[in-house]
């Protein structure tokens, strides 16, 4: 098993991939697109991709890449996010002048950055920021990085647990070349799909009406403009339930009637975090 992810070893994505597939070989990628391409081209079996964070919202670009990737969601995973402020051995908090990390990590640790009044630099990913600090060897430079990154790069923790929200959580999805929909066993199931509404008045209202009348819960809905004219909209939704459930089947039938395109992206088991959150 080879699991592709965006970022370097020690990143949150690497941690999620290792938690999902402990025996897998990780394939670090420089971008989300490269990770998806690795699966499409057969260099990896799955891609573990972050899609939402409880503090920062949706991960930019990912939902634009999914429709055209040709891949399918086969699982989801929720990872508790922890960040440490790390520096070179011997560095102290008073010496720090510049903090670097991924743009999302910087956004999730605003309080400590505001307290320190430090200059910030954006890195490709959190583990990469730790590596950059180690390479610089300068106590004036620190990084916001996951706990695993400090030991990996021989850094020391200057201040631990600096995330703004102690309940900070990122949701990852696992993408595969094969659909592999979860069976309809009655267990909690999620269904993800894209659809494009017909360019007629009240089209979105009518497409979503079936979910309301059938009692199907929508946990997410996002819109994307398509084409230069910006007239057509594509929507990404996630619902609780399986397409074989009668209520979901009725809702999907009504959805298709008012849509020019409907494409199921994945049917997969709901992660236990949904039940405990």
Q: What pLDDT tens digit does each residue of the chain (277 aa) get?
A: 999 999 889 999 999 999 999 998 999 999 899 999 999 999 999 999 999 888 777 776 677 778 788 899 999 999 999 999 999 999 999 999 999 999 889 989 999 999 999 999 999 889 999 999 999 999 999 999 998 899 899 999 999 999 999 888 999 999 999 999 999 999 999 999 999 888 778 888 888 999 999 999 999 998 877 665 556 678 999 999 999 999 999 999 999 988 988 999 999 999 999 988 6
Query: CB of 122 within 8 A of CB of 103?
Result: yes
Which residue among 15, 170, 189, 207 is the active-site one? 170
pLDDT score at 124 = 86
Q: Give the CA angle between residues 45, 51, 57 to the nearest 5°.
A: 170
> CA-CA distance, 61 to 277, in Å (whole number)?
26
> CA-CA distance, 243 to 233, in Å (whole number)?
23
Phi/psi of residue 197, each to 5°? Answer: -80, 150
Its pTM stands at: 0.88
pLDDT score at 229 = 59
pLDDT score at 277 = 64
Strands (E), the chain: 2-6, 25-29, 46-53, 57-58, 72-80, 84-87, 98-101, 119-122, 141-145, 156-159, 169-176, 189-197, 218-226, 232-240, 259-269
pLDDT score at 226 = 66
pLDDT score at 275 = 82
pLDDT score at 199 = 77
170 is catalytic: yes
pLDDT score at 120 = 97
pLDDT score at 178 = 94
3-class SS at 90? Answer: coil
> CA-CA distance, 76 to 274, in Å (whole number)?
10
Which residue among 32, 72, 78, 172 is the active-site one? 172
């Amino acid at each position: 098993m080879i699991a592709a992810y965006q970022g370097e070893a020690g990143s949150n994505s690497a941690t999620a991939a290792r938690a999902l597939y402990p025996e897998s070989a990780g394939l670090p990628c420089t971008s989300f697109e490269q990770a998806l391409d690795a699966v499409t081209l057969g260099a990896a079996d799955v891609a573990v991709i972050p899609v939402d964070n409880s503090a920062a919202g949706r991960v930019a670009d990912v939902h634009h890449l999914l429709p055209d990737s040709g891949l399918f969601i086969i699982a989801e995973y929720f990872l508790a996010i922890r960040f440490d402020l790390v520096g070179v051995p011997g560095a102290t908090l008073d010496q720090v002048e510049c903090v670097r990390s991924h743009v999302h990590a910087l956004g999730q640790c605003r309080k400590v950055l505001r307290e320190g009044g430090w200059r910030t630099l954006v890195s490709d990913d959190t583990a990469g920021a730790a590596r950059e600090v180690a390479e610089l060897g300068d106590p004036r430079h620190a990084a916001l990085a996951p706990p695993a990154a400090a030991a990996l790069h021989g850094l020391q923790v200057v201040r631990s647990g600096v995330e703004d929200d102690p309940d900070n959580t990122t949701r990852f999805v696992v993408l595969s070349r094969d659909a592999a929909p979860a069976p309809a066993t009655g267990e909690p199931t999620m269904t993800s799909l894209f659809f494009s509404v017909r360019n007629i008045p009240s089209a979105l209202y009518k497409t979503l009406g079936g979910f309301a009348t059938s009692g199907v819960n929508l946990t997410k809905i996002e819109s994307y403009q398509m084409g230069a004219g910006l007239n057509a909209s594509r929507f990404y939704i996630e619902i609780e339930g399986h397409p074989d459930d009668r209520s979901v089947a009725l809702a999907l039938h009504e959805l298709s009637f008012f849509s020019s395109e409907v494409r199921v992206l994945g049917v997969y088991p709901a992660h236990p975090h949904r039940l405990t959150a």
